[in-house]
Structure 1
Amino acid sequence: MKKTVLITGGNSGLGLHSAEQMAARGAEVLIGCRDRTRGQAAVAHIKNHHPQARVRLFALDLSDLAQVHSAARRLRDEIGELDVLINNAGTVPTRQQFTADGYEMQFGVNYLAPVLFTHLLLPLLRQAPSARILHVASVAHWLGRINSRTWRGRFPYLVMDAYGQSKLGNILFSNVLAQRLAREGITSNALHPGGVDTGIFRHVPGPLRTLIRPTLITPEKAAFLPVSMALDEDFVGVTGGYFDARGRARRSPSARNGELAARLYEETMALLELTPLAAAQPARVPG
Structure 2
Amino acid sequence: MNKRVLITGGNSGIGFCTAQQLAGRGAEVVLACRDQTKGQAALARIKGGHPQARVRLFPLDLSDLAQVRGCARRLNDELDGIDVLINNAGVVPTRQQFTRDGFEMQIGVNYLAPVLLTHLLLPLLQQREDARVIHVASVAHWLGRINTKTWRGRRPYLVMDAYGQSKLANILFSDVLAQRLAAQGITSNALHPGGVDTPIFRHVPDLAMKLIRPTLTTPEKAARLPVRMALDEEFYGVTGGYFDAKGPAARSPRARNKKQAERLYLDTMAALDINPL
TM-score (normalizing by structure 2) = 0.99
Tell me the distance in 1 between the aligned counterparts of 2:102 and 2:224.
Answer: 35
Residue identity opposite 1:78 in structure 2 = E
Residue identity opposite 2:271 in structure 1 = L
Residue identity opposite 1:182 in structure 2 = A
C-alpha displacement at 1:155, in angstroms? 0.5
Residue 269 of structure 2 corresponds to residue 256 of structure 1: no
C-alpha displacement at 1:204, in angstroms? 1.1
**Percent identical residues:** 75
Residue 62 of structure 2 corresponds to residue 62 of structure 1: yes
Residue 115 of structure 2 corresponds to residue 115 of structure 1: yes
C-alpha displacement at 1:102, in angstroms? 0.3
Tell me the distance in 2 between the aligned counterparts of 1:14 and 1:132.
Answer: 19
Per the alignment, residue 71 of structure 2 pairs with 71
Tell me the distance in 2 between the aligned counterparts of 1:93 and 1:71.
Answer: 24
Unaligned runs of 5+ in 1: 278-287
What CA deviation, in whole Å up to 9, does each residue of 1:88-114 have, x standing for no partner?
000000000000000000000000000
Tell me the distance in 1 between the aligned counterparts of 2:71 and 2:196.
Answer: 28
Per the alignment, residue 11 of structure 2 pairs with 11
Tell me the distance in 1 between the aligned counterparts of 2:210 and 2:144.
Answer: 25
Per the alignment, residue 233 of structure 2 pairs with 233
RMSD of the TM alignment (CA)? 0.5
Per the alignment, residue 204 of structure 1 pairs with 204
Per the alignment, residue 283 of structure 1 pairs with none
Residue identity opposite 2:149 in structure 1 = R
What CA deviation, in whole Å up to 9, does each residue of 1:61-83 have, x standing for no partner?
00000000000000000001100
C-alpha displacement at 1:206, in angstroms? 1.6
- The equivalences for 1:151-166 within 5 A come to 151-166=151-166
Unaligned runs of 5+ in 2: none
Tell me the distance in 1 between the aligned counterparts of 2:14 and 2:75.
Answer: 23
Residue identity opposite 2:246 in structure 1 = R
Per the alignment, residue 214 of structure 2 pairs with 214
Structure 1 stretches (4+) deviating beyond 2 angstroms? none
Residue 91 of structure 2 corresponds to residue 91 of structure 1: yes
C-alpha displacement at 1:205, in angstroms? 1.6
What CA deviation, in whole Å up to 9, does each residue of 1:35-73 have, x standing for no partner?
010000000000001101111110000000000000000
Per the alignment, residue 183 of structure 1 pairs with 183
C-alpha displacement at 1:209, in angstroms? 1.4
Residue identity opposite 1:210 in structure 2 = K
Tell me the distance in 1 between the aligned counterparts of 2:150 and 2:208.
Answer: 25
Per the alignment, residue 150 of structure 2 pairs with 150
Per the alignment, residue 274 of structure 2 pairs with 274
Tell me the distance in 2 between the aligned counterparts of 1:244 and 1:238.
Answer: 14
Tell me the distance in 2 between the aligned counterparts of 1:210 and 1:157.
Answer: 25
Per the alignment, residue 39 of structure 2 pairs with 39
What CA deviation, in whole Å up to 9, does each residue of 1:1-24 have, x standing for no partner?
510000000000000000000011
Tell me the distance in 1 between the aligned counterparts of 2:241 and 2:225.
Answer: 13
3-state SS of paired residue (2:61): coil
Aligned residues: 277
What CA deviation, in whole Å up to 9, does each residue of 1:181-222 have, x standing for no partner?
000000000000000100000011221111111100000010
Q: Which moved more, 1:109-118 or 1:208-217?
A: 208-217
TM-score (normalizing by structure 1) = 0.96
